[in-house]
A and B are shown apart, each in its own frame.
Chain A
């Protein structure tokens, strides 16, 4: 089924009708995601033009253009302009290829997305274009053909093209978020799409299941579960019935996959003390990575896999440390506060996000050189378990700001904080998947 869908979506990328030369990959100056004070780019996304009128086309052009606006809005890069302010009705335009840019620059729009929708039976054809209205230039143009139910994929595919053109990064639109929810009465692992769409339960262990961790290619999930009565480590393939369980004496917790390897680090306490070990994907111990008395747990890897940040109580309070794997040298990263846990290494490799306690738990970001830390959440309940989006532009976390714990998203600079989804019960411990290509 999945393969079939992948084939369909491969087939539908019919044509890329770039006009002009030297457009491709030249747009990095539009959005500099390393700049800490982002200016949101005003963008106009009028309702897509219906090539042939009809009720079904009407609905589809409305939902597809709204979805495209929401998807772009999710990134935090754009200011989506109010359609009531638009000077032209795209439905009355004779040709989508001819744009009167003045109509758009005069309302403050710097970017414009136009779309045309053609519906034939259960097939849909969409023609989507991104323009720079001031330079009066077509930046990206694509035509897609697929089944009506694939419209979400088509819109996301085009959004990925837009973000890639503007930032040079593949973006997040093919990523997913794993998290813990007790909606069923027990804590189980769930997965939803990057924007909270389509949440689904992936474990049915009827126990306490915690700490989901994606492998770096997105095919495996590791987590902790009490399914056999005590905290054991589960390693499961997401599509096939393959996997392993590590149930040594004591706690078997906090898995973190080594980037681009079928190996993971985890905290095991069978020696009488929680220490971090390197394990194969089949659950065999390769070697021990921490050797200090006291709690060691919550490893997180640098993108090159050469360093590991983790939590240790070796100095009396839980703090974040970094170990260089080759040299074995360990240095302390956090010095502010008496309780810093849940480190998450950024995909760019330059920062670590973590939860720090000062009364309540809040999300902080610190440079791996120790610069900062910068506090991103400010005492709206407990804010915990930060995890970076694969492009490093967003951070997902859990918060009790509205009472029960829910999953929230913000930019890497702490702006645009919003709830991702709300299921029955409480949701905690989100983990953002890597970018997973076109699916």
Chain B
């Protein structure tokens, strides 16, 4: 009877002890490996995340730069056109000027020159004055849209700088223009 009690006691004490010992040992080993692993994983993930973030940021910046460049190029490349012997801004010219105003308002550090040009049909002197009127009417329109006058200057080239040297209506239409440059 006493012997049976001892065995039972031993069972009660040892087995859980064993069990404890086993589980304890096992746990120690596992926790060592998993900790380093986890740290490595986390660092890698963090790095990857950082790289990803950086890439996104770079891409964003690049896209932004591209957009800005595109906006700038559009500002520079999109001419406005006039009718013969007229400095009146046509609807299409006004649409283009609205975009230009937006760009100038977003880029207050930029200063632009508006060039007024004419076709070859008029006489040289009058065309210098007409080119001046064309540049001035574009400037007034931009200022009415909120562009600072200090950002804008005007110059007339009259008929002296045609983009198309042709002697036909197609060429003349291209040459009756307001062109923008950034100083």
Q: Give the residue of A226, A269, A298 whose beta carbon is less than 8 angstroms from that of B126.
A: A298
- CB-CB under 8 A for A210 and B125, given A250-B132, A339-B85: yes
- CB-CB under 8 A for A269 and B123, given A208-B160, A231-B156: no
* A254:B160 contact, CB within 8 angstroms: no
**Chain A positions near chain B (C-beta within 8 angstroms):** 187, 208, 210-211, 224, 226, 229-231, 250-251, 253-254, 267, 269, 272, 274, 295, 297-298, 311, 317-318, 339, 341-342, 355, 357, 361, 384-385, 428-429
Additional pairs, 7, CB under 8 Å, beyond known A226-B157, A274-B132, A274-B133? A208-B160, A251-B132, A269-B129, A297-B129, A311-B126, A385-B124, A428-B124
Tell me which residues across on chain B come within 8 A of A297, comparing CB atoms: 125-126, 128-129
* B123:A231 contact, CB within 8 angstroms: no
Most chain B CB within a 10 A radius of its CB, from A295, A384, A428: A295
Query: Would you list which residues of chain B between 114 and 142 have a CB under 8 Å from chain A?
Result: 121-126, 128-130, 132-133, 136
Tell me which residues across on chain A come within 8 A of B154, comparing CB atoms: 250
**Which residue of A has the minimal Cβ distance to B131?**
A251
Q: In the complex, A104→B126 CA distance in Å?
A: 53
Tell me which residues across on chain A come within 8 A of B157, comparing CB atoms: 208, 226
Task: Name the distance in Å between B181's Cβ and chain A's nearest Cβ.
Answer: 12
- CB-CB under 8 A for A253 and B125, given A208-B160, A339-B85: yes
Q: In the complex, A311→B124 CA distance in Å?
A: 13
**Which residue of B has the minimal Cβ distance to A274?**
B129
- 0 or 1 for each of B145-158: is its CB under 8 Å from A? (1 = yes): 00000000011111
* B129:A253 contact, CB within 8 angstroms: yes
Task: Name the distance in Å between B16's Cβ and chain A's nearest Cβ.
Answer: 98
* A298:B125 contact, CB within 8 angstroms: yes
**How many residues from B make CB contacts under 8 Å with A?**
19
Q: In the complex, A229→B160 CA distance in Å?
A: 13
* B125:A342 contact, CB within 8 angstroms: yes
Tell me which residues across on chain B come within 8 A of A311, comparing CB atoms: 125-126
* B125:A357 contact, CB within 8 angstroms: no
* B155:A357 contact, CB within 8 angstroms: no
Most chain B CB within a 10 A radius of its CB, from A224, A253, A384: A253
Tell me which residues across on chain A come within 8 A of B136, comparing CB atoms: 269, 272
Task: Name the distance in Å between A5's Cβ and chain B's nearest Cβ.
Answer: 35
Q: In the complex, A97→B44 CA distance in Å?
A: 120
* B126:A231 contact, CB within 8 angstroms: no
* B128:A251 contact, CB within 8 angstroms: yes
Q: In the complex, A318→B126 CA distance in Å?
A: 8
Task: Name the distance in Å between B125's Cβ and chain A's nearest Cβ.
Answer: 5
Q: In the complex, A355→B123 CA distance in Å?
A: 8
Closest 6 CB pairs between A and B? A274-B129, A295-B129, A341-B123, A251-B132, A341-B126, A254-B125
**Which residue of B has the minimal Cβ distance to A269?**
B132
Q: In the complex, A208→B123 CA distance in Å?
A: 15
* B126:A251 contact, CB within 8 angstroms: no
Task: Name the distance in Å between B69's Cβ and chain A's nearest Cβ.
Answer: 26
Tell me which residues across on chain B come within 8 A of A355, comparing CB atoms: 123
Task: Name the distance in Å between B112's Cβ and chain A's nearest Cβ.
Answer: 15
Q: Give the residue of A187, A210, A229, A267 whose beta carbon is less than 8 angstroms from that of B129.
A: A267
- 0 or 1 for each of B64-96: is its CB under 8 Å from A? (1 = yes): 000000000000000000000100000000000
Tell me which residues across on chain B come within 8 A of A298, comparing CB atoms: 125-126
Tell me which residues across on chain A come within 8 A of B133, comparing CB atoms: 274, 295
Q: In the complex, A272→B132 CA distance in Å?
A: 9
* A339:B122 contact, CB within 8 angstroms: yes
Q: In the complex, A274→B156 CA distance in Å?
A: 12
19 contacts between A and B (CB under 8 A): A208-B160, A211-B124, A226-B157, A226-B160, A251-B132, A269-B129, A269-B132, A295-B126, A297-B125, A297-B126, A311-B126, A318-B122, A318-B126, A341-B123, A355-B123, A357-B122, A361-B121, A384-B124, A429-B124
Q: In the complex, A274→B131 CA distance in Å?
A: 11
- CB-CB under 8 A for A342 and B123, given A230-B155, A318-B85: yes
Q: In the complex, A347→B87 CA distance in Å?
A: 35
* B124:A251 contact, CB within 8 angstroms: no
Q: In the complex, A397→B126 CA distance in Å?
A: 17
Q: In the complex, A209→B154 CA distance in Å?
A: 19
Tell me which residues across on chain B come within 8 A of A318, comparing CB atoms: 85, 122, 126
Tell me which residues across on chain B come within 8 A of A384, comparing CB atoms: 123-124
Task: Name the distance in Å between A310's Cβ and chain B's nearest Cβ.
Answer: 11
Tell me which residues across on chain B come within 8 A of A229, comparing CB atoms: 155
Q: Give the residue of A251, A339, A357, A385 whose beta carbon is less than 8 angstroms from that of B156.
A: A251
Most chain A CB within a 10 A radius of its CB, from B125, B130, B133, B136: B125
**Which residue of A has the minimal Cβ distance to B87?**
A295
**Which residue of B has the minimal Cβ distance to A360?**
B121
Q: In the complex, A357→B126 CA distance in Å?
A: 13
Tell me which residues across on chain A come within 8 A of B122, comparing CB atoms: 318, 339, 341, 357
Q: In the complex, A357→B119 CA distance in Å?
A: 14
* B128:A231 contact, CB within 8 angstroms: yes
Tell me which residues across on chain A come within 8 A of B129, comparing CB atoms: 251, 253, 267, 269, 274, 295, 297
Q: In the complex, A269→B132 CA distance in Å?
A: 8
* A210:B126 contact, CB within 8 angstroms: no
Q: In the complex, A253→B125 CA distance in Å?
A: 7
**Which residue of B has the minimal Cβ distance to A208?**
B160
Q: In the complex, A379→B43 CA distance in Å?
A: 85
Tell me which residues across on chain B come within 8 A of A339, comparing CB atoms: 85, 122
Q: In the complex, A309→B85 CA distance in Å?
A: 21
